[in-house]
Structures are given as structure tokens and as C-alpha cells.
Structure 1
Amino acid sequence: MINYASFYGAKVCVVFDAHRVSGNKRHKEMRTSVEVVYTKDKETADAYIERAVDLVGRKVEVLVVTSDNLEQQIIFGRGAQRMSSLEFRVSFKEAEKSISEKTENLSDRKSMKLLDHMDEESRKKLEKMRRNG
């Protein structure tokens, strides 16, 4: 998820629904650009997300990933964009593939030797320096 957030230049918040965990207090963890939230007792993830969207929904671009049609309508009405879980999975896989390709290209470039980019005269001078100390 951290790679996904970095790829899109986004802050990601993952909300876990813990409303049925008796006595649970809301807990947040920050992992680079990913915030992980565990809701408190009697607080659904949907309620937490709706409140968060209410706070920033029209000031900041917010994208909520959920396949719950009612939740999609609610958060859209409050100013957030929505994406289904299936659409997110496709987007996530595309980002992974793109990151992997870019990483491979970088590692290929790093493995190239300086000698591969020198003219013959410069190579001969370096070889002479190497042999003569």
C-alpha cells in the first residue's frame, strides 16, 4: 500500500472496522504515507469514513474505496470520489506492474559500465594508467 501511495503521490488511509470489539478504543498507526485506523467500540468504518469525508471532502480530493453501493452514494454526496474494490484491485495491480517495470529499467541502467560509453582513445588512456599505476 505504501508503494501505491507513493506511485500516485497520495496519502492513504486504511480503516478497519472494530465496532464489535467490546471496549476497543480507536487506534491509529502511521506507516510512511499510509495511515491505518482501527475504529473504536460501536463505531463502524463507514461512520468513521463519512466523518472524515465531511471534514475535508470538498477541500481536498478524497477517494473512498468500497463496494458498498449505499456507502458510495453517501460519500459521493459529501464530496468524495468513489471506487469499487474491484476497480481498486485493477488500479493496484497496474501500479505494481508500472513500479516493477520502472525498477527493472533503473537497475538495468545502473549495471551499465562507464567503459561502455567511452570512446576508444579514452579507453586506451585509462588502460595505460591502470597498467602503469
Structure 2
Amino acid sequence: MVLKRFLPRKKETADSFIERYVYELYDKHTKHITVVTSDMSEQHAIFGSGAYRISSREMWRDLKENEIDVSKSLDDISENKPRTRIPLSSEILAEFEKIRRGHHKK
């Protein structure tokens, strides 16, 4: 999903900008445009242009769900990191980390 935020021209309402932009872009460059609006009259205008619509509340919910999914995926990745097969003390691990970073004194 790609999110883009637009600002209308001077003296142009957000509704007229959305309608103009959807009409200009639809079929020329893309087949899937989703407009985020909770304004019922704007939703009807968007449906008429062939674009999809999602309410602000639905978008917020979807963003939060995606945030949770990404967080879970990152947790899974960090849990699946290969562990050392030899149990090492924290002091030895600290020394290895110094060596790895080039801070080890001989």
C-alpha cells in the first residue's frame, strides 16, 4: 500500500480536488485508487468515479493492525536468530563484542 497526501490548490476545496484528481488519474495511470474520507457525499462522488473509498476510522484501524503485524514479524525475526551452541558467560560475550567492534586491548 502506498499512501500519498495531497494539498489542494489555492481557493480549491478538498472535495473538488479529490474529485478532479481521481477523474484525471483513473484509467490513465492506475486502476486502483482509494480515497480516505468520512464525508458521505464525497464517498458517493468517489464511487461514481470508479475509485474505492475507506473511512478515516477504517484507515486508522488498518494502520494500527498493520503496525501490530509488523511488530510481530520483527519479533519473530529476532527470536529466530541463530544462537551460539556453546553456553557463554556474559563476561565472555562482552569480550567477544569488544573484539567484534575492534575495541579489544591486547
Same fold judged by TM-score > 0.5?
yes
Q: By how many angstroms is 1:38 displaced? A: 2.4
1:65 aligns with 2:56: no
Partner of 1:44: 13
1:115 aligns with 2:106: no
Structure 2: give runs of 5+ residues left out of the alignment: 87-106
Q: Residues 98-133 of structure 1, C-alpha deviation per residue, up to 9 Å, x if partnerless?
A: 0111111112223x32528xxxxxxxxxxxxxxxxx
Structure 1: give runs of 5+ residues left out of the alignment: 1-9, 15-36, 117-133
Partner of 2:53: 82
Question: Which residue of 54, 57, 70 corresponds with 2:23?
Answer: 54
Question: Which residue of 79, 94, 101 corresponds with 2:65?
Answer: 94
Partner of 1:12: 3
Question: What is the count of residue pairs matched by the alignment?
Answer: 84
Separation in 1 of the partners of 2:84 and 2:50?
Answer: 53
3-state SS in 1 of match to 2:62: helix
Q: By how many angstroms is 1:39 displaced? A: 2.1
TM-score of the two chains, using structure 1 as the length reference:
0.57
Partner of 1:19: none
Between 73-82 and 49-58, report the one with greater CA deviation: 49-58
Separation in 1 of the partners of 2:54 and 2:42?
Answer: 11
Identity of aligned residues (%): 37
Of Structure 1 and Structure 2, the greater strand share is in 1
Q: By how many angstroms is 1:55 displaced? A: 1.9
TM-score of the two chains, using structure 2 as the length reference:
0.69
3-state SS in 2 of match to 1:113: coil
Partner of 1:27: none
